[in-house]
Amino acid sequence: MFSSKNNGELDNLSAGTTHCFSALLEIQILETTSCDSMVFTRPFYASRYSGALDTTYAATGDAAAIETAVVEFHDALNVLFKGDAGPMKTLWSHANDTTYMGPMGDFDLGWSAISSLWDEQAKLQLGGKVVAENIHVAASPSLAVTHYMERGSNIIDEKEQRVSLQTTITFRKENGLWKVIGHHTDTLSYLE
């Protein structure tokens, strides 16, 4: 789709956001690159729990809203660990094109399957707390992809189990709100 960075521009880049978005992983190696209405950024750190948000290269005016969506996801995950799936379910798109590949090794498609999965996970009452660290955002006006580290712990059989996961969340803007349409993490051996 493209060959190289040349004088600050990309060579042979196909027109259109769809092609640009599919080249996301390759483009991320560049510092800051625009492609139509998309802006790719260098990694930045964002978390309600520690440190300030560096928005020097933030992607579009929605960077703060996307960062908030990631923090809200982890707030909801921590509530889920106590047995309540409600907050998590409000953050997700209820469309049939949603995907979930979580720490249990699941691969679920569509809101119906994902909704049931969150109910099942809530019943586990894993306890503990996780936060997002080293968040990287790539965004267009209607799609955003976040890559980051998820760290914290769960309590299994009264023993603390460390959580350190590479995580990706894909968001879509629906009715003015960033909704989760994809979630992918490493697996955790104590949950498989």
Q: Which residue has the higher pLDDT, 93 or 53?
A: 93
pLDDT at 60 over 90: no
* Cα–Cα distance measured from residue 130 to residue 162, given in angstroms and rounded to the nearest whole number: 9
* Cα–Cα distance measured from residue 31 to residue 92, given in angstroms and rounded to the nearest whole number: 30
Q: What is the pLDDT of residue 192?
A: 82
pLDDT at 176 over 50: yes
Q: What is the pLDDT of residue 43?
A: 38
Using pLDDT thresholds of 50, 70 and 90, give the confidence band for residue 52: very low
Q: Which residue has the higher pLDDT, 115 or 39?
A: 115
Q: What is the pLDDT of residue 163?
A: 96
Could you give the domains of the chain?
1-39 (no CATH), 41-185 (3.10.450.50)
pTM: 0.70
Q: Span 30-38, mean pLDDT?
A: 39
Q: What is the pLDDT of residue 92?
A: 98
Instruction: Answer yes or no: are the C-beta atoms of 70 and 169 closer than 8 Å.
Output: yes
* Cα–Cα distance measured from residue 31 to residue 28, given in angstroms and rounded to the nearest whole number: 7
Q: What is the pLDDT of residue 86?
A: 98
pLDDT at 107 over 60: yes
pLDDT at 112 over 70: yes
Per-residue pLDDT tens digits for 61-81: 688 899 899 999 999 999 999
Share of the chain above pLDDT 90, in %: 60
Give long-range contacts, CB 8 A cutoff, 24+ apart: 80-84: 80/118, 80/121, 80/122, 81/125, 81/126, 81/127, 81/128, 81/129, 81/154, 82/125, 82/127, 83/122, 83/123, 83/125, 84/122
Q: Span 138-152, mean pLDDT?
A: 94
Q: What is the pLDDT of residue 165?
A: 96
Using pLDDT thresholds of 50, 70 and 90, give the confidence band for residue 57: very low
